[in-house]
Amino acid sequence: MTDHFPTRRRSLRLATSVLVAGLLCSGALQAQSLRPSSQLNLLRAQSASPGPRTVDYIVALVNSEPVTNNEVRQRLVRVEQQLTQQGAALPPRAELARQVLEQLVSERAQIQEAKELGIRVDEATLLQAEQSIAAQNQLPLDEFRRRLAAEGMDNNRLRNELSNQILLQRVREREVEARVQVTESDIDDYIREQRDHTDLSDLQLNLAHVLVLVPESADPARVTELQARAQQVADRARAGGDFAALAREFSDAPEKVNGGEFGLRPADRLPGLFVESTRALRPGEIAGPVRSPAGFHVLKLLEKRQAGLPDVVVTQTRASHILLRVSPSLTAQAAAERLGQYRQQIVSGAASFANLAREHSQDGSAREGGDLGWASPGQFVPEFEEVMNSLKPGEISQPLASRFGVHLIQVTERRDQQLSQREQREIVRGLLREKKSDEALSTWLQDVRGRAFVEYREAPSI
């Protein structure tokens, strides 16, 4: 973690399937695909025993360490609830139980690997993870624990689960991140491959055009005159003239009322002549005049999107935040309460966001009044970005718990911005890093699983 929050999103995907119950980073549980209210529901499912109680027994041994029937049943209930919340179809229960068992076996082997490498989870990290879950459920830690106990949930088993997930996170980062490198040549090859892709259904173009209509009865002299008019339009457009104004003045096409703009469309839904004339252009460049049976066209490429390549134009957000870091002396709940007080002061006009950020925020943006600058999609960690994107300019969030602490966010502006070539390359770098990380993680998981001695006993009772 650097002095400035937020860091760019890590590309390593830590959840290899829906069977991984929770994600952790730097010791804090992340609810990336779950709203905070559903976290407690999953904990209930995790701790509750499904159906009539049966005598527990060993279903598998992983390097002599047991996986029990109750573990499979409890994880199975959790996975079924997750799939239901996501609207996914449930596979047959026996098949899902086999997948759950294999996931538990794989996780057990990874945790053993972490311990053999000397990776440990200290009490402070574990406490921070607990506090993060409590804060996401908007409960003080003591109240959260009481709620768990009142509903018959085992807090010690929850802490053990958290410890295991932290170990999984750390060993995967250690073993996978070092294997992933993205070179400038990798980026060049990816961009070239995508641009050379010939499937028009993967290409979208937003074109504007001016049509100088040529009547069927026009003699050669009239055709030459109309071509000269189209050339005049093209010359003015290339000189920086307002293309929309030129279209309204000169075009004979119905789109003239929209400044000649077609709107973003798949390339295979545009005339082939238009696509061939503009597909090699960069946004803002002009093609033509080109001749069609209707007349002479002057074309301007407004926007181009190619599947696999980042959008040239993205919506950027400018936001500020106040960050309070969780520590033994400041719990997540206490931080949220303090930020709630700051929010009331700002809303009432008693204090400004910038002044409170300079005075209280615990990261490098404090000296800028909490200003994080313009950010493109994917630049912030998911839990922060999800809340930021839900705010309108001028709005202030409620306190938000993230892996870095607790935040108060204010969105100041939004804009549509054309990405520079360097920014596009950085997005491609992220895409490639994520792809390579997925491949490296899969290889490492297979290696760990292959080296483990697994003995299957009785089938799970579901």
Q: How confident is the model over 151-188, as pLDDT tens digits?
A: 877 788 888 888 998 899 889 888 888 788 889 998 88
Contact between 318 and 398 under an 8 Å Cβ cutoff? The reply is no
Tell me: do 281 and 240 sit in the same domain: yes
Q: Identify the pLDDT of residue 5.
A: 54
At which of 270, 285, 306 does a domain end? 306
**Mean pLDDT of all residues belonging to the chain:** 80
HSE (side-chain half, CA atoms, 13 Å) at 93: 11
Please give the structure tokens belonging to residue 111. Answer: 């945790």
- Looking at the structure, tell me whether residues 374 and 340 fall in a common domain: yes
pLDDT tens column, 12-47 = 222 222 223 332 222 222 222 223 334 445 455 444
| Strands (E) located in 166-237 | 203-213
Q: What is the pLDDT of residue 401?
A: 84
Q: Give the pLDDT of residue 256.
A: 82
Same domain for 326 and 270: no
| CATH code of 330's domain | 3.10.50.40
Same domain for 45 and 161: yes
The reported pLDDT for the residue numbered 381 is 82
How much is the pLDDT for 326?
A: 81
Instruction: Tell whether 249 and 319 lie within a shared domain.
Output: no
- Same structural domain for residues 166 and 282? no
Query: Dihedral (C-alpha) 184, 185, 188, 193: value to the nearest 10 degrees?
Result: -140
Q: 110: Cβ–Cβ under 8 A, 6 or more apart, which residues? A: 167, 168, 171, 172, 445, 448
Give the per-residue pLDDT at 437.
85
Closest CA to 100 of 56, 67, 148, 134: 67
Query: Domain check: are 365 and 227 in the same one?
Result: no
Do 369 and 358 contact (CB within 8 A), yes or no?
yes
Residue 265's domain comprises 198-306
Query: Is 229 in the same domain as 338?
Result: no
Last residue within a domain, chosen from 306, 325, 350: 306
Question: Buried b vs exposed e over 146-178: b needs ≥16 C-beta within 10 Å?
Answer: ebbeeeebeeeebbebbbbbbbbbbbbbebbee
Same domain, 222 and 354: no
User: What pLDDT does 90 receive?
Assistant: 84
Asked if 177 and 265 sit in the same domain, the reply is no
Q: Which residue has the tokens 């295991």?
A: 164
**Could you tell me which residues come within 8 angstroms of residue 271 by beta carbon, excluding any fewer than 6 positions away?**
292
> Are the CB atoms for 297 and 289 separated by under 8 Å?
yes
Instruction: Note whether residue 14 is domain-resident.
Output: no
Domain count, the chain: 3
Q: Are 240 and 326 found together in one domain?
A: no
Q: Is residue 428 part of a domain?
A: no
Evaluate whether residue 235 is within a structural domain.
yes
For position 10, what pLDDT does the model report? 36
Using CB atoms within 10 A of its CB, is residue 136 exposed (0-12), middle (13-18) or buried (19+)?
buried
- Give the residue from 252, 277, 306 where a domain finishes: 306
Low-confidence ranges of the chain (pLDDT < 50): 1-4, 6-40, 42, 45-53
- Is 119 found in the same domain as 27? yes
- Could you tell me if residue 423 is inside a domain? no
